[in-house]
Amino acid sequence: MGLKVYGAAMSTCTARVLTALIEKEAEYELVPVNLAVGEHKQPAYLAKHPFGQIPVLEDDDLTLFESRAIAAYVSYKYKTQGTDLLRIGNLKEAGLVGVWIEVESQQFNPAISALVYQLVIAPAFGRPVDQAIIDTNTEKLGKVLDVYEARLSSNKYLAGDFFSLADLNHLPYTYYLMKTGSASLINERPHVKAWWEDISSRPAFVKVSENMNLGG
Ligand code: GS8
């Protein structure tokens, strides 16, 4: 049986998993979960994901949730094919990939996900927008991106001179941010901008982003 991803093509966390699968040249099937009708909160789905979120990966009798963990699993499972996303054979490089995977998750994601919610998701669903949250997270994300700017001035990618899962994990939220006025956070930092243009033009993400239509 092949891999099954339960999710929605427009969702950032699903897009992260799909991008990793395509980079790894893995076969998969996307099983749509209808968030609008609350399918993710029904018992059948909660049996796969106890927190009732997307995505979930099923690989035979193994069920995984948390998009970054799924992307790492896929990178290990297909270590001999596709892009080497974790630098498994090089301890030093693998250590640095681990660091920048954590930076994305702990520093970058909290700020950018709050911004994308306010700037893209809330308006798309007619929910209220909170300017104070936009301001706080613009400042937070700017500080994180100052660190990225310095890092990327001496390394082509975050973990070194190779594309890795650390870079890939940034793609979906940044894609939506770039459709807003806050794209300037990326564009006004030349090394961050060059990095973004490079990673977002990889064929795997170009394919996935064709179905990311949140906010029109
Ligand atoms: C977050 C999953 C998540 O927020 C991960 O998989 O990386 N840390 C987790 N999923 C959202 C869609 S964002 O693409 C979701 O399922 N939202 C619906 C809900 O929480 O009810």
Sign of CA dihedral 12, 201, 206, 78: negative
Pair of tokens at residue 202: 């990889």
Ligand 1, atom nearest to 70 Cα: 6
CA distance 63 to 211: 25
Given pLDDT bands bounded at 50, 70 and 90, which one contains residue 159?
very high
Q: What is the pLDDT of residue 2?
A: 87
Asked whether 56 lines ligand 1 (CB < 6 A), one says no
Query: How distant, in Å, are the alpha carbons of 78, 113, 120, 137 from that of 184?
Result: 37, 16, 15, 14
Q: Coil, helix or strand for 59?
A: strand
pLDDT at res. 215: 66
The answer, yes or no, to whether any atom of ligand 1 lies below 6 A from the CB of 33, is: no
Q: For 85-136, how does the pLDDT look when each residue is reduced to its tens digit (9 = 90+)?
A: 999 999 999 999 999 999 999 999 999 999 999 999 999 999 999 999 999 9
pTM for this entry: 0.97
Cα–Cα distance, 13 to 10 (Å, whole number): 9
Q: How far is the centre of ligand 1, averaged over its atoms, from the C-alpha of 114 (Å)?
A: 13
Q: What letter would DSSP give residue 159? A: S
> So what's the pLDDT on residue 214?
82
Which of 210, 216, 214, 155 minimizes the C-alpha distance to 18? 210
List the domains of the chain with CATH numbers: 3-82 (3.40.30.10), 91-204 (1.20.1050.10)
Cβ(169) – ligand 1 distance below 6 Å: no
pLDDT at residue number 216? 52
